Amino acid sequence: MVDNLGTDEGSRILGRDAQRNNILAARVVAETVKTTLGPKGMDKMLVDRTGNIIITNDGVTILDEMEIEHPAAKMIVEIARTQETEVGDGTTTAVMLAGKFLENGEKLLDMKIHPTIITRGYRWAEEQAQKILQELAIEITSKDELMKVAQTAMTGKGAEYLKEKFGEIVVNAVDIVAENNQVNLEDIRIEKQKGQAIEDTELIKGIVIDKERTHIDMPKKVNDAKIALIEEALEVRGPEMEAKISVSTPDQLQSFLNQEDSILKSKVEWIKESGANVIFVQKGIDELVQHYLARSGIYAVRRVAKSDMQNLAKATGAKIVSKLSEISPGDLGYASYVEEKKDGEDGMTYIMGCKNPKALTILIRGGTEHVIDEIERAMKDALGDVAATLKDSKVVAGGGAVEIELSKRLKEYASTLKGRERLAVEEFASAMEFIPITLAENAGMDPIDVLTELRASHDAGMKNVGLNLFNGKIEDTLMQGIIEPLKIKTQAIASASEVAIMILRIDDVIAAKKMQGNSGKLGNMQGYD
């Protein structure tokens, strides 16, 4: 290994040193998140330079917040991001598998097996694993099974004692916004409110916006709400460039002010004529307009984010109006009521009783920001899992059951091969056992005893036997409702094997010009001082 890689043009690491260096960096990342796996996994406290704290066991959050400079380590982090984007869960599994594939690949490199042979064997193993997963997957048909998927996703994230309630919230939310089994998770907003207990978290069949009404004299609640969504600013626009207005008499000044007043009044009149009694404005609202709106009993909210405007349109059926002078009754949306509610100092606007809402809000409550943030991460994982399951309707047994069965069948497949690739397939197969071994370790169980018992059960044909960490038993996890979407496993194995193959093929690390001056925070552990 070479110190100070990146300080001199032409610094490089060659051959086995390059491979060892990259594999070590990737394994350090995998080891970091290893202890967070499963319902009994531990949490990490992440503290940044300004003292902000995040407490979580969500793999992608941990890796995103860590300062990582080593190029191979960054590739491992990219797997987590891909897994999060594609499925929304399984990031820790993907990263751990990549680390284990590389660790086992290093054993083969030490046996003088060429990287090309190892990577070919890994490709064959990955293709075979995908076929086996399709065979092991089962179709789900009921809402109860989706609830089990959601509950499995939330275990170990500070939400398991309320997993039944949260599972119901998640499944109901997905069920309402789904169209042809496709779910756009952006249609499910998550709002957080400090105060009250976690148990008070609720699904709101409407939209909650973290905004208050703009004027104290506006009604706090509007029943039978006819809602206008306005992009245009309700204020007089200043000139584009610097301008001077010459006023020589008091009458001219008064005329100028009256004209401004008239423009603002006409904006309010257009709103009143449309029949709207609630308006959401993407830009600002002049104080005089606020006054006129309040006198007319119209509830107004200003500076609403574009994403919120789009969700409001989906939920209420309103059309977003760009030009206020052309607003018509047909542009308005409907909600049975709109109300401002205050919890402590902060107020929120509730848009409730929408006729056919295609956008919803999950309102998470809790005592501290750290608790609320972790519940939010658990909810997002569960939403991703349920959405992925709904898409292809297939699940596999959880608790390490599917990994043990994969390992067993891949070893059987390896026995049919004759070349050195057979060794690579065997190492790929043994890497799959890393998941149940880690689940057992994190739960304080003896991993060797657990692995022996799991192998014996699967050899006897019990393909769905895994770890039920809630009672510490080895049993049929499919029957116990510990299930995971097929998509999590297929994506994790595909991503992990791809990056392992890529890293194993690197035999030369050269400091390019744009890398000069990198200090390498994580790299210091790997000789990148």
Active site residues: 58, 91-92, 381
**What is the spatial distance between Cα 230 and Cα 149, in angstroms, rounded to a whole number?**
40
- The residue among 406, 479, 485, 409 whose CA lies nearest residue 139 is 485
Closest CA to 63 of 42, 32, 89: 32
The encoded tokens of residue 131 equal 């076929």
Closest CA to 154 of 384, 409, 454: 384
CB 309 within 8 A of CB 258: no
CA 420 from chain centre, in angstroms, equals 40
Token pair, residue 73, equals: 């380590």
| Torsion sign over Cα 346, 297, 281, 216 | negative
Centroid of chain to Cα 231: 29
**Phi–psi pair at 81, nearest 5 degrees:** -65, -40
- Cα–chain-centroid distance for residue 290? 38
Contact 123, 497 (CB under 8 A): yes
Distance between CA 179 and CA 416 in Å, rounded? Answer: 45
Q: How far apart are CA 280 and CA 324, in angstroms?
A: 12
- Residue 210 DSSP label: S
Can you tell me the distance from the alpha carbon of 203 to that of 196, in angstroms, rounded to the nearest whole number? 15
486, 392 in Cβ contact below 8 A? yes
Amino acid at position 378, single letter = A
Instruction: Using alpha carbons, select from 34, 91, 62, 76 the residue that is nearest to residue 434.
Output: 34
Q: Phi and psi (nearest 5°) for 224?
A: 50, 55
Amino acid 71 reads: P
Count how many Cα atoms sit within 13 Å of the Cα of residue 167 in the half-sphere of its side chain.
Answer: 19
The DSSP element (H or E) to which 224 belongs, if any, is strand 221-230
Gap between the Cα atoms of 277 and 300, Å rounded: 8
d(CA 99, CA 465): 25
Map residue 461 onto helix, strand or coil. coil
Show the beta-strand stretches assigned E in 51-198.
53-56, 138-139, 188-194
